[in-house]
Amino acid sequence: MMNKKLLMMLLVAGMAVMFITTGLYAGTDVPDTIKMDYNQYKKRKKQPPKSKFIEFSHKMHNEDYKISCGDCHHDKDNKPLDLKIGDNVQRCAECHTKMAKDKKNKKDIMVLENAMHGNCIVCHKDVNKKAGDPKGMKGPAPASCAKCHISLKKKK
- Annotated binding residues for heme c: 58, 61, 69, 72-74, 92, 120, 123-124, 145, 148-149
Q: Please say whether the beta carbons of 100 and 41 come within 8 A.
A: yes
Please state the residue numbers annotated as binding site: 58, 61, 69, 72-74, 92, 120, 123-124, 145, 148-149
Using alpha carbons, select from 150, 146, 142 the residue that is nearest to residue 123.
142
Q: Which residues contact 53 (CB under 8 A, 6 or more apart)?
A: 35, 36, 37
Q: State yes or no: cis peptide before 49, omega within 30 of 0.
A: yes
Distance (Å, whole) CA 100 – CA 128: 29
